């Protein structure tokens, strides 16, 4: 049995825990948005050009966003197997398996078999790769597309095959459609092109055609998505330059920006510190093969994106997932040099302390990954008030009833209620706001009591339940009818 199949088996086994579990817990906000888009595709005719979320109240809910091919594929699975969050998770696992195999093909081609295997082992067991490799989110698909973009492009420039040309176009364009920042892939692709053809490679008709075919669907989609916003839709904020996700360059003047992104997030959360330590020598191992520096340019591209979108990277660690692709290669180079899979004893004899230290780091990576992923899973409980609220709301309300959810703004409540409506914070929970939404069509208010932490908020809660009909008053949640 080839070693890569063992790695793929490990990849699968580390990602199928709770595979049948509803969207809850860590990053339920982002997951429930994606899941609601899939459910709305399924309910409303598979209109891939019109993604809808649940938190836009009495409007259509069309959302300016990245191209929603991932939830669309999930909705197709719903058509055949029924609507269940498990299918979204399984699709992420499948994309994660392909990502590992694609990384193996790419590194084996450019460097060697040993480095390819170690790169895939590290990539497969990093904690956030495990979590997002089974999350109801498009990150797994995006990472797979990024890897195959570079792999098929390298195959095309070597073999000049129309098949590899088209495959690279498809995967490169799809990566950017899934996540616009993936356009940074232009840097490693440009290096491969330059390495093969020199400067004249950039004006070759095939290269120009490649760029046109990649950019056309990206331009079309993001223009169309913006029209959804301008015509009464809502937005995920993909163009909020200088306000939210990107373009806040003043952050680059603050030392904490670099500490929070590169050490607290990348070194600690993504790589675990043992893997981060092994990344550093891997960066300086001599490049032996002609195309090997493609990983250097890939890493530079990711870092440039991180700096441009500093605010996004400070807010959400999943923006750094592309970093783990390239980091795994450099870590894999360290392992391949000092810890030979075919003859580990020989490595211990040859390199002594270095090999023992690296073996210890591998053990620590596995332990720390397990502990971190286990903590991520803590919020996934069948006894969650979110699921109780969802079940009760579906039982006592009509499908078209609009619902107000009281939380920190998390749309997961609306998703499990399978209703449209609004999200609101506890600070908005007052008579004036509820009356305003009641006039806009809201019929129900639901929420967890745990969000009412202050005496003032608890007093306001008592005022509201004396004014409207308290339908459910459970220990940890409530349902109010706005009659």
pLDDT of residue 226 exceeding 80, the answer is yes
Q: Are residues 446 and 359 in the same domain?
A: no
Mean pLDDT in residue range 20-34: 93
φ, ψ (nearest 5 deg) of residue 479:
-135, 125
Confidence of residue 416 (pLDDT cuts 50, 70, 90): very high
In this prediction, residue 411 carries a pLDDT of 94
Mean pLDDT in residue range 430-444: 93
Q: Are residues 66 and 122 in the same domain?
A: yes
Confidence of residue 409 (pLDDT cuts 50, 70, 90): confident
Q: Are 373 and 131 in contact (CB under 8 A)?
A: yes
* Token pair of 462 as six digits: 């008592």
φ, ψ (nearest 5 deg) of residue 478:
-145, 160
Q: Are residues 461 and 335 in the same domain?
A: no
* Token pair of 391 as six digits: 């079940």
Nearest to 236 by CA among 404, 62, 420: 62
Mean pLDDT in residue range 344-361: 78
One DSSP character per residue, 286-309 reads PP-STTTTHHHHHHHHHHHHHHHT
Q: Are residues 366 and 227 in the same domain?
A: yes
Q: Are residues 256 and 397 in the same domain?
A: no
Overall number of domains in the chain: 2
Helix, coil or strand: residue 91: helix
φ, ψ (nearest 5 deg) of residue 447:
175, 170
Give strand pairing partners of 472: 479
In this prediction, residue 351 carries a pLDDT of 67
Q: Where are the alpha helices (DSSP H) in 397-470?
A: 412-417, 431-439, 455-467
Per-residue buried b or exposed e for 367-384, using 16+ beta carbons within 10 Å of the residue's own CB? ebbeebbeebbeebeeeb
pLDDT of residue 342 exceeding 90, the answer is no
Range of the domain at 471: 385-481
Of the candidates 332, 352, 377, which is a domain's last residue? Answer: 377
**pLDDT, tens only, 79-104:** 999 999 999 999 999 999 999 999 99
Q: Using CA atoms, how far apart are residues 474 and 472, in angstroms rounded to an integer?
A: 6
In this prediction, residue 242 carries a pLDDT of 58
Q: Are residues 272 and 195 in the same domain?
A: yes
Mean pLDDT in residue range 8-14: 96
Q: Are 44 and 62 in contact (CB under 8 A)?
A: no
Q: Are residues 124 and 207 in the same domain?
A: yes
pLDDT of residue 460 exceeding 60, the answer is yes
Of the candidates 377, 400, 434, which is a domain's last residue? Answer: 377
pLDDT of residue 240 exceeding 70, the answer is no
pLDDT higher at 9 or 407: 9
Using left for φ > 0, alpha for ψ between -120 and 50, and beta otherwise, residue 235 falls in beta
Q: Where are the alpha helices (DSSP H) in 126-201?
A: 127-132, 139-159, 162-178, 186-197
Of the candidates 335, 352, 377, which is a domain's last residue? Answer: 377
Confidence of residue 148 (pLDDT cuts 50, 70, 90): very high
**pLDDT, tens only, 242-274:** 566 676 788 888 899 999 999 999 999 999 999
Mean pLDDT in residue range 465-480: 91
Nearest to 138 by CA among 88, 187, 200: 88
Confidence of residue 355 (pLDDT cuts 50, 70, 90): confident
The helix (H) or strand (E) run that includes residue 442 is: strand 442-448
In this prediction, residue 229 carries a pLDDT of 93
Q: Which residues contact 250 (CB under 8 A, 6 or more apart)?
A: none
In this prediction, residue 241 carries a pLDDT of 63
pLDDT of residue 1 exceeding 60, the answer is no
In this prediction, residue 249 carries a pLDDT of 80
Nearest to 165 by CA among 133, 204, 125, 110: 204
Using a pLDDT cut of 90, give the percent of the chain over it: 78
Q: Are residues 241 and 324 in the same domain?
A: yes
Q: Using CA atoms, how far apart are residues 170 and 204, in angstroms rounded to an integer?
A: 19
Nearest to 10 by CA among 389, 366, 405, 282: 366
The helix (H) or strand (E) run that includes residue 13 is: helix 3-13
Q: Are residues 322 and 429 in the same domain?
A: no
Q: Are 42 and 410 in contact (CB under 8 A)?
A: no
Q: How far is CA 85 from CA 22, 129, 288, 293, in A?
A: 5, 19, 46, 40
Nearest to 470 by CA among 480, 482, 483: 480
Q: Are residues 327 and 303 in the same domain?
A: yes
Residue whose token pair is 């899979």: 341
Confidence of residue 9 (pLDDT cuts 50, 70, 90): very high
Give strand pairing partners of 479: 446, 472
In this prediction, residue 244 carries a pLDDT of 65
Q: Are residues 47 and 98 in the same domain?
A: yes
In this prediction, residue 237 carries a pLDDT of 79
Q: Are residues 331 and 406 in the same domain?
A: no
φ, ψ (nearest 5 deg) of residue 424:
-145, 155
Confidence of residue 347 (pLDDT cuts 50, 70, 90): low
φ, ψ (nearest 5 deg) of residue 423:
-105, 145
């Amino acid at each position: 049995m080839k070693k890569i199949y063992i790695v793929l088996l490990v990849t699968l086994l580390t990602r199928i825990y709770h595979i049948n579990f509803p969207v809850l817990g860590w990053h339920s906000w982002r997951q429930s948005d994606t899941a609601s888009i899939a459910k709305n595709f399924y309910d409303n005719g598979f209109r891939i050009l019109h993604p809808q979320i649940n938190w836009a109240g009495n409007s259509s809910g069309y959302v300016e966003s990245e191209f929603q091919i991932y939830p669309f594929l999930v909705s197709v699975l719903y058509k055949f197997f029924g609507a269940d969050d498990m299918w979204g998770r399984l699709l992420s696992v499948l994309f994660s398996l392909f990502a590992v195999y694609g990384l193996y093909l790419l590194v084996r081609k450019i460097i060697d078999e040993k480095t390819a295997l170690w790169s895939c082992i590290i990539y497969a067991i990093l904690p956030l790769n495990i979590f997002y490799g089974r999350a109801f989110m498009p990150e797994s698909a995006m990472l797979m597309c990024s890897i195959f973009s570079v792999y098929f492009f390298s195959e095309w420039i070597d073999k000049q095959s129309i098949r590899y040309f088209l495959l690279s176009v498809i995967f490169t364009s799809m990566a950017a459609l899934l996540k616009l920042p993936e356009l940074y892939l232009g840097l490693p692709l440009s290096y491969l092109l330059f390495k093969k053809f020199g400067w004249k490679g950039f004006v070759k008709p095939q290269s120009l055609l490649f760029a046109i075919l990649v950019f056309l669907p990206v331009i079309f989609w993001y223009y169309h998505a913006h029209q959804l916003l301008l015509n009464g839709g809502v937005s995920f904020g993909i163009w909020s330059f200088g306000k939210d996700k990107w373009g806040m360059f003043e952050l680059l003047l603050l030392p904490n920006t670099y500490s929070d992104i590169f050490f607290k997030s990348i070194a600690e959360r993504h790589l675990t510190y043992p893997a981060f330590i092994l990344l550093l020598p891997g960066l300086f191992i001599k490049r032996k093969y002609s195309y090997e520096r493609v990983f250097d340019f890939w890493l530079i591209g990711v870092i440039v994106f991180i700096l441009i979108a500093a605010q996004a990277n400070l807010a959400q660690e999943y923006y750094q997932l592309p970093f783990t692709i390239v980091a795994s290669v450099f870590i894999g180079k360290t392992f391949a040099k000092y810890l030979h899979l075919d003859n580990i004893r020989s490595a211990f004899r040859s390199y002594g302390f270095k090999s023992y230290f690296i073996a210890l780091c591998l053990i620590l990576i596995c332990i720390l990954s397990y502990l971190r992923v286990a903590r991520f899973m803590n919020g996934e409980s069948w006894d969650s008030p979110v699921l109780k609220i969802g079940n009760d709301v579906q039982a006592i309300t009509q499908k078209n009833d609009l619902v107000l959810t009281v939380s920190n703004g998390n749309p997961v409540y609306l998703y499990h209620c399978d209703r449209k409506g609004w999200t609101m914070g506890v600070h908005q929970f007052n008579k004036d706001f509820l009356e305003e939404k009641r006039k806009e069509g809201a019929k129900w208010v639901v929420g967890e009591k745990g969000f009412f932490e202050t005496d003032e908020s608890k007093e306001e809660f008592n005022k509201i339940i004396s004014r409207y009909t308290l339908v459910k008053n459970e220990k940890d949640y409530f349902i109010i009818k706005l009659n």
